[in-house]
Each structure stands twice: as C-alpha cells, then as structure tokens.
Amino acid sequence: MLLVKQLDSLVELKRTFVKYAAQPPLGKIEIYQPSSDSKPLVSIIIPTVGAARQSYLPGLIEQIERQSWRDYEVILIIGDNRQGRAINCGAALASGKYLLICDDDTRLGSEDLIEKMVEMVSAHPEIGMAGVANLIPPDASWFVRRVMYELPRRTSPLVTTITDSDLAEHPCCLIPKAVFYQIGGENELIPRGLDPYLRQAIREAGYRVVVLPGLYMHHLPPQTLRQFVRQFYRNGKMAAYVNKFYPQFVVELAYEHGIEVEVRRSIFKRVISYLYRLLKTFVTLKIFYLLSLLLYLIGYSIGYLTLNENDV
C-alpha cells in the first residue's frame, strides 16, 4: 500500500455530519491506498491509540493486504482515545461508498471476507450495518478460550442466512457511508456503549442491522488476568459515566442472533437482572464471568461516586 496522506493536526477537519460532537479530535491520520488512480469503493477505518496493540495492528494490515478485494483505502486514526470521534474523523475523509470499521486488534477470518461483505451488502440496500460472527481462534490460549466461552457476546455463532442481529459490532462491520452520514455518525459524547447507540440509530433510520452468513472474525478478550481486571474495571467506570451524565444514550443489549432489543429498562429491572446473572455465574462456576461482573460493579460504583462530566 502507498501512504497518500498524513494529517498531524485534526482540529480543522470538517465533520459537519456529526450529530453529537465532542471536543476537537486528537492525534493524527494516515491514509494508505493500493496503487490505483480511481476512488476506492471501500474505506477501511481503524482507530488505534498506540498503533501497535501488542502487534495485532500490523497483523491486521497484513491480512488486509492479502484480501481478494483490492478496491479499498485504509484510514488509520492514531492517538485519539475517543473511539467514536476517531471513527468520525476517518469517515469525514473517506472516499469509499462503504465504510468498513475494524478494531485494531481484529483478526479477519478469511482472505475473501471483505469481498463477500461488499457483495452481500450491495445486493441489499435495506442493510444499514453488517457484521460477522466472532469465533474462538484455534490457536487461542486456555485463558482466552475460557473467557470467550464464559462471557456473553464474546463469541457469536456463524449464521446460514442474512440474520437481523444485535451482535454486529465495531470490531468488523460494514456500513454504507450515506447511512453513516444520515444518522449523524458515531456518538462522540459517550466513551462506552457506542455499539448499542450506533445500532439503534441505524434501526431508527429504517435500516436493518445484520450478521452476514458464513463469515467470521476473531476479536479477542484481554490476554492476561491483569489486563482482564483493568478492562472490566474500566468498563464499569465508563458505564457509570454514561449513566450519570448521558442516560438518554443507554441502550440495552441482546445476547443472541435474532432477538429484539429492549431499548429501555427500568433501574429496578436492571438491578434484578444483574443480581440474577451474579447468582447464575456463581452456581454454574463461570469464574471469569463472575469476576467480570464484580469488577464492573466496583468500577461502576467508584465511577458514579467520583467522576465529573469533564473527567473523561
């Protein structure tokens, strides 16, 4: 790939489509394109804080270069810890008709994944967001395998037909750029809950959110217990921030393909559901799931009591 543009200052980047904009963006952007004079059909947007992520990002770039689909550009947004804002910056510069959003630690499941995603989405204009299944890789460590097995939404099974699903997520999803602009892009105000917000906004605009058949990725949890503890404590703390200052953006989750999402639940229902999950994980000896719930609760409690709106 050829580096065609680098922006070291994003302050002047025009993001006029953004519905919920935060402060000016941070970091820099690099745009890579294969040797071609034509506009790419697909813009692959990858937000990354450190541009390494334990060597996952270089591996992802290598996988993209081996894809059968060649009509693309890669837009790296480096150094902005607000994922929604980073993705919006990439979308503002994207040349493609379709945006393929990937996390920097995603592993693509096959060398024709992008080609098949574009083929299916272009044939179905009612689709506003298309994801793929998330499978446990065969080379996963015992720790990673166990965490992915125990925690809901850390894996999702392959489907045989285009399936409406709440399990289409940022680690690998294709969105028509016109749809992304229509809904106002990502929500930059919230540090957590971006996937549920994005899916709801796309559904409210009249489009389907689906998982595509026969396609998959690997999106792994933290690799060590220490990283696991840090992540789920932070998840709880950031969830507290959203619930405290932006409760209107809190959206519930479904845990299986084809299940309709309950957009809002009362606090009472959420507490009962949480206590039920705690009890169930204890009885079924899902130790890592139980630990994640406890870490989340600790982070949430501390965050709700201590965070101010300008702290994040």
Provide the token pair at 177: 């750029």
104, 232: one domain: no
Nearest Cα residue to 176 out of 214, 218, 205, 219: 205
Assess whether 55 and 169 both reside in one domain: yes
pLDDT score for 263: 66
Pair (214, 251) in one structural domain: no
Looking at the fold, whether 276 and 168 belong to one and the same domain comes out as no
Q: How many CB atoms lie within 10 A of CB 122?
A: 14
Residue 22: per-residue pLDDT: 87
Gap between the Cα atoms of 263 and 56, Å rounded:
34
Which amino acid belongs to residue 29? I
Q: Give the end of a domain, one of 193, 221, 249.
A: 221
Question: Mind listing the pLDDT tens digit for each residue in 60-94?
Answer: 999 999 999 999 999 999 999 899 999 999 999 99
CATH number, residue 25 = 3.90.550.10
d(CA 166, CA 158): 14
Task: Tell me: do 145 and 187 sit in the same domain.
Answer: yes
Whether residues 163 and 263 fall in one domain? no
Provide the pLDDT for residue 53.
53
Same domain, 284 and 174: no
Same domain as 253, residue 217: no
The tally of domains found in the chain comes to 2
- Domain residues for the domain of 31 are 2-221
| Among 167, 201, 221, residue at a domain's last position | 221
Q: Are residues 260 and 206 in the same domain?
A: no
Domain final position from 189, 221, 253? 221
Q: Please tell me whether residues 85 and 190 are part of one structural domain.
A: yes
Render pLDDT for 155-177 as a digit per residue (tens, 0 to 9).
999 999 999 999 999 999 999 99
Q: In which residue ranges of the chain is pLDDT below 50?
A: none
Whether residue 208 sits in one domain with residue 143: yes
- 208 and 234 inside one domain: no
**Amino acid 275: pLDDT:** 84
pTM of the model: 0.93
